[in-house]
Amino acid sequence: MKHLIAAAILLLSTMVSFAASNEPVQVLLKTSMGDIQLALDPQKSPTTVANFIQLLKNKHYDGLIFHRVIQGFMIQAGGFNEYMSPREPNSKPIKNESYNGLKNHRGTVAMARTSDPNSARAQFFINLDDNWNLDKTPQNPGYAVFGKVTKGMEVVDKIARVPVGKSGPHDDVPRQPVRIIEATLLDTQ
């Protein structure tokens, strides 16, 4: 319980500091196939961005893989290591911010979740196409976009072309792991 309270306090303080800024938060994903730079939008997705930043600070993403790759759709990471062992964050699920007006267009970054709209924790995906079916509608809670790729879309496309197969109960897993070596905040000052 103490860990959850501490995590909630850290998340809240991170939200306050980044929401106060209108500037995008720059993130670098160093992968085994090249670098991908992201710009996160704390103004439109304050809770999601604060959660992602806290996970970066906790080194949650370091050593994980892109565990789900579907050509023409998306690449997903944030939940499994190269042995397909799950890594869960020490935090509660966050509120789905799919109402923020950001769309699941090619190159955008969104939170993965279960069928519960408010179940996102750490897994994220990068859209390979304009995925209108993932946007919020009156009938669909949607998937929260919270940033976009600003550099390295060619790396994203290269990851999208890797051979995939089945690994245990999981489909669309790259046959050779594509690792996130390190995920860090970039100092933009």
pLDDT in tens, 72-98: 999 999 999 999 999 999 889 999 999
CATH number at residue 38: 2.40.100.10
pLDDT in tens, 102-153: 999 999 999 999 999 999 999 999 999 999 999 999 999 999 999 999 999 9
CA dihedral 133, 93, 47, 184 (to 10 degrees): -90
pTM as predicted: 0.89
Q: How many residues does the chain have?
A: 189
To 5 degrees, how large is the angle CA 163–CA 73–CA 123?
A: 85
Number of domains in the chain: 1
Structural domain of 113 = 2-185
Rounded Cα distance, 176 and 130, in Å:
27
